[in-house]
Amino acid sequence: MAVTVRTSPTKKAPPPRPRAGKWRTRRSRWDLKLSPYAFVSPFFILFAAFGLYPLIWTAWMSLHRVELSNPDQMTWLGLKNFTDLLGDAHFWNAFTNTFTIGVISTVPQLLIALGLAHILNYKLRGRTFFRIAVLTPYATSVAASAIVFAQLFGRDFGFINWLLSFVGVDNIDFTNSKWPAQIAISVIVIWRWTGYNALIYLAAMQAIPQDLYESAGMDGASRWQQFWHVTIPGLRPTIVFTVIVSTIGASQLFGEPMLFGGGGSPEQGGADNQYQTLAMYFFERGFTDQHLGRAAAIAWAMFLLIVVFVAINTLLARRARSAN
């Protein structure tokens, strides 16, 4: 009698599945496959309704002439709104202002935040208090802080002008000049965001292993050299993150310049549009002048500019990383 050698491991035949269990196992299969999607769906449903749909509708509007007084009537224009923007002096003025205010507010902010984080990293007395204190400006409302700072920068009775009078400087009309206004707005932004970025850097700094500093110290590196050659490289991903987030925030700057002017028509950013940012220009065209189609084109142009900025940022970061 031939003995058949079973190569497969011994297996009992599975018992026949009971009828009732068929539904249950199908449900459990669905549970495994579909419940992750179910858990994230609330966010995506809300995003689709309040984020994606307006994005697409704004793009659609930007191809038409639409007026706020009659939003249902849309006249097809093709890309005319966008080509008009290219020759629109107001648009490029707003773009330049956004760029300059962005640079003046972001660069000092991140540098100060870096320095603050380095100091807060030391074992100071009451360091928890200091760490909370740097975050309090972030907790104030944009409107309240902008209005108070606008008062401080007032021409005749502002605190800043009063301080400047002690060093012999005449009253500066912050609201009606270009660079003083942009610097004043940048001060408001720096005041708000420095603490926030400082704490992000601090958290990243605390993840840098202590023995790196010790070995650098043993090699004879001074404090400054340790900071430059140990701390900064360790913080590189964090720095890239904060730069990207600050860039996106700076391109959308709206509240602080809007409330800085006071008086009628604040969205015009001063009598000569000298501190009008892209977001304010979009608001002026869309809601003050009632040209929704043109405003939609400005909004999409802003979006594309932000994408370009972030792409440049990422490219530079990748180059810097690969050069290491």
Partner 1 sequence: MLSAHRKTAAAVAALVAGSLLLTACSSTSDEGAGNGGQITLKVGVFGTFGYKEAGLYDEYMKQHPNIKIVEDSVQNDSQYYPALLTRLASGSGLSDIQGIEVGRIADVTKNLSDKFVDLNTLGAANVKDTFYPAKWASATTSDGKVLGLGTDYGPLAMCYRTDLFKAAGLPTDSAAVSALWPDWAGYVKTGLQYKAKAPANQAWADSGSGMYNAVVGQSANQYYDASGNVVVSTNPAIKNAWDLTMQLSTQGLSAKLSQFSPAWNQSFSTGSFATIACPAWMLGYIKSQADTMSGKWGVAKIPGGAGNWGGSYFSIPKASKHQKEAYDLISWLTAPAQQTAMFTKRQAFPSSQTAAKDPAIAATTDGYFGDSPLGQIYSEAAAGTPQAILGVKDGAIRDLIVKGVTRVEAQGQSPEDSWSKSMADIKAATTG
* Residues near partner 1 (CB under 8 A): 65, 67-71, 88, 90, 147, 150-151, 154-157, 173, 175-177, 261-266, 268, 271-272, 274, 287-291
Smallest gap from residue 149 Cβ to partner 1 (A) = 12
Smallest gap from residue 141 Cβ to partner 1 (A) = 17
Smallest gap from residue 174 Cβ to partner 1 (A) = 11
Q: Which is nearer to partner 1, 249 or 289 (CB)?
A: 289
Burial (CB count <10 Å: 0-12, 13-18, 19+), residue 27: exposed
CA dist 180 and 169 (Å) reads 13
Q: Which is nearer to partner 1, 180 or 234 (CB)?
A: 180
- For the chain, how many residues are written? 324
Q: Which is nearer to partner 1, 106 or 161 (CB)?
A: 161
Reading the block at residue 175, the tokens are 């609201």
Give the residue among 4, 189, 210, 36 at the shortest CA–CA distance from 113. 189
Give the residue among 172, 158, 154, 150 at the shortest CA–CA distance from 257. 150
Smallest gap from residue 305 Cβ to partner 1 (A) = 21
Q: Which is nearer to partner 1, 17 or 155 (CB)?
A: 155
Q: Which is nearer to partner 1, 112 or 147 (CB)?
A: 147
Q: Which is nearer to partner 1, 121 or 290 (CB)?
A: 290
User: How many other β-carbons are positioned within 10 Å of the β-carbon of residue 194?
Assistant: 23
Smallest gap from residue 188 Cβ to partner 1 (A) = 16
Smallest gap from residue 206 Cβ to partner 1 (A) = 38
> 64-86: buried (b, 16+ CB within 10 Å) or exposed (e) per residue?
bbbeeeeeeebeebeebbbeebe
CA dist 291 and 288 (Å) reads 8
- At residue 150, φ and ψ (nearest 5 deg) are -60, -40
Q: Which is nearer to partner 1, 171 or 226 (CB)?
A: 171
CA dist 72 and 268 (Å) reads 27
Reading the block at residue 157, the tokens are 């009775």
Q: Which is nearer to partner 1, 36 or 262 (CB)?
A: 262
Q: Name every residue whose Cβ is closer than 8 Å to that of residue 159 and which is 6 or more positions away in sequence.
A: 151, 152
Q: Which is nearer to partner 1, 243 or 292 (CB)?
A: 292
DSSP output for 183-203: HHHHHHHHHHHHHHHHHHHHH
Smallest gap from residue 256 Cβ to partner 1 (A) = 16
Smallest gap from residue 197 Cβ to partner 1 (A) = 31
3-state secondary structure of 3: coil
Smallest gap from residue 103 Cβ to partner 1 (A) = 23
Reading the block at residue 107, the tokens are 């660069």
CA dist 276 and 20 (Å) reads 69
